[in-house]
Amino acid sequence: MAAQHQLAPEGDHGPNRRLLDRLLRVRATTEWLSEPLSAEDQAIQSMPDASPTKWHRAHTTWFFEEFVLSRFQPAYQRFHADYGYLFNSYYNAVGRMHPRPQRGMLSRPSVDEIGAYRAYVDGQLTALLQQENLPRQALELVLLGTHHEQQHQELLLTDIKHTLFQNPLLPAYRAVEVSAPAGDTAALRFIPGQEGVVSMGHAGDEFHFDNETPAHKTYLQPHAIAHRPASNAEYLAFIRDGGYRRPELWLSDGWSTLQQRGWDRPYYWQEDLETEFTLTGRQPLDPSSPVCHLSYYEADAFARWAGARLPTEAEWESFARTHLHQVQSLDDGYFHPRAGDPGAPVQHGGVWEWTASAYAPYPGFHPPPGAVGEYNGKFMCNQMVLRGGSCATPGDHLRTTYRNFFYPDARWQFAGVRLARDL
């Protein structure tokens, strides 16, 4: 299995009621996130790395159909015989798939037909979870499917933000009351981290993905980590000091990428360096808010300019276990990172934070057998780890051991930087 969890005991409301409630809540959240979008909005694929909204809605539905209903619901009839080809993402063990860069070519099935597909599968899942004595594997796969869908909820938002940004009108995804820029923020402080032998990775029965295991020991040298993510004001100082024109600050691959793509500011910042595009439209750049939509290359160059470095994921996890208890998430309904309380000893910031660690297996990791084993393990090459979660991540999907990963040139995610230093 690609995930494990502690199964909730049956209550007075029938078998597996908690899991069913979670399933229906997660599925409803996806539909709520899609509500502001027209059929035209939902069909666009603005780049190969992004997917249309209606594809996210269909793929997360196919996941349940393929891995749960077709295996554990006797005589299950698929909604459409060809949807497995259209909405499989990368599970080679279950068959061929439509090429990822061409997802935006699928004008059909329509948004309404995708809605009918979701309703059909939801009804079948509800009937399944009302049965007695379901195999434990079925329950684990349903829970995995809900967390898989929450991952796609975040991607739905980052992908539609990229799509709307291609429109010269810079339309808002959703109207949200935006607070005035907070102005000055607390001066950056560095908190000494734990040193010596520490534990990292997930240990316990609560839900986790397979790439968070096995729990293991590692050694930390003396170091310190910033009490908050870097701010827009701090990154603006990097830009004005020639940060994008100084090759000595950049990794070789980063400098080549910068030159080829013409980077001179974070993605979504406007040329005036005073406004940025957000899911609520074009807004004034808040100097105190965490800088976001940085690539790994930009985060690394900024850290070097600041006389610091990026934390390793072991340092980050050790720091988070002790200090990061309050987080910003999708549950806040703000859709953009915000500065925390300047008086707080540690701030989360609502951005994924790049680490210096390559995405690789933990000691003793073995991908689970079968198609679900393709979930994480086969991507452990050429990508970098991010930690923490963002303003687009559902709150109950976050945990200290969560390992996100992207290629180092990726910029469309809510990714920022928390600095570290050697001591």
Strand partners, 276: 269, 283
- Shared domain for 224 and 321, answered yes or no, is yes
Q: Which two tokens stand for residue 251?
A: 């990794």
- Shared domain for 51 and 116, answered yes or no, is yes
Q: Per-residue pLDDT for the chain (423 aa), expressed as one digit of tens each?
A: 344 444 444 444 555 999 999 999 999 999 999 999 999 999 999 999 999 999 999 999 999 999 999 999 989 999 999 999 999 998 888 899 999 999 999 999 999 999 999 999 999 999 999 998 899 999 999 999 999 999 999 999 999 999 999 999 999 999 887 766 665 678 899 999 999 999 999 998 899 999 999 999 999 999 999 999 999 999 999 999 999 999 999 999 999 999 999 999 999 999 999 999 999 999 999 999 999 999 999 999 999 999 999 999 999 999 999 998 778 899 999 999 998 888 888 988 899 999 999 999 999 998 877 767 767 778 889 999 999 999 999 999 999 999 999 999 999 999 999 999 999
- Shared domain for 224 and 361, answered yes or no, is yes
Residue located via tokens 């004001």: 233
Alpha helices, H only, 248-381: 252-261, 296-305, 313-323
Buried b (16+ CB within 10 A) or exposed e, 390-406: bbbbbebbbebbbbbbb
Residue 179 placed within a domain: no
Specify the CATH number for the domain of residue 331: 3.90.1580.10
Sign of the CA dihedral 415, 421, 422, 423?
negative
The pTM of the full predicted model, rounded to 2 decimals, is 0.94
Distance CA 140, CA 263 (A): 44
Q: Which of 357, 339, 356, 358 is nearest to 348 (CA)?
A: 339
C-alpha Rg value of the chain to the nearest Å: 22
Sign of the CA dihedral 361, 363, 365, 366?
positive
- Shared domain for 349 and 383, answered yes or no, is yes
- Shared domain for 60 and 22, answered yes or no, is yes
- Shared domain for 62 and 199, answered yes or no, is no
Residue 173 placed within a domain: no
Residue 171 placed within a domain: no
Residue 303 placed within a domain: yes
Last residue of a domain, one of 165, 198, 227: 165
- Shared domain for 138 and 279, answered yes or no, is no
Residue 37 placed within a domain: yes
Last residue of a domain, one of 103, 131, 165: 165
Residue 382 placed within a domain: yes
Distance CA 312, CA 273 (A): 30
- Shared domain for 157 and 202, answered yes or no, is no
Q: Which of 149, 176, 159, 160 is nearest to 29 (CA)?
A: 149
The answer to whether the beta carbons of residues 126 and 21 sit under 8 Å apart is no
- Shared domain for 54 and 143, answered yes or no, is yes
Specify the CATH number for the domain of residue 108: 1.20.120.450
The residue type of 223 is H
Residue 183 placed within a domain: no
| DSSP characters over 237-284 | HHHHTTGGG-GGGS-HHHHHHHHHHT--S-TTB-TTSSEEEETTEEEE
Q: What is the pLDDT of residue 407?
A: 97
Q: What is the pLDDT of residue 181?
A: 61
- Shared domain for 380 and 415, answered yes or no, is yes
Q: Which of 384, 327, 381 is nearest to 350 (CA)?
A: 327
- Shared domain for 147 and 280, answered yes or no, is no
Distance CA 325, CA 108 (A): 44
Distances (CA, A) of 350 to 219, 289, 293, 341: 28, 9, 12, 13
Please return the burial class of 15, using the count of CB atoms within 10 Å of its CB with bins 0-12, 13-18 and 19+.
middle
Last residue of a domain, one of 148, 165, 182: 165
Residue 184 placed within a domain: no
Angle at 25 between CA 23 and CA 30, to 5 degrees: 100
Sequence-separated (6 or more) residues with CB below 8 Å from residue 298: 254, 263, 266, 411
Q: Containing domain of residue 95, as a range?
A: 3-165
The answer to whether the beta carbons of residues 34 and 155 sit under 8 Å apart is no
- Shared domain for 131 and 214, answered yes or no, is no
Count of domains observed in the chain: 2
Please give the backbone phi and psi of residue 219, each rounded to the nearest 5 degrees, phi first: -115, 130
The answer to whether the beta carbons of residues 282 and 387 sit under 8 Å apart is no
Query: How many other CB atoms sit within 10 Å of the CB of residue 7?
Result: 14
Q: Which of 211, 142, 182 is nearest to 375 (CA)?
A: 211
Distance CA 171, CA 161 (A): 10
Q: Which of 382, 373, 378 is nearest to 144 (CA)?
A: 373
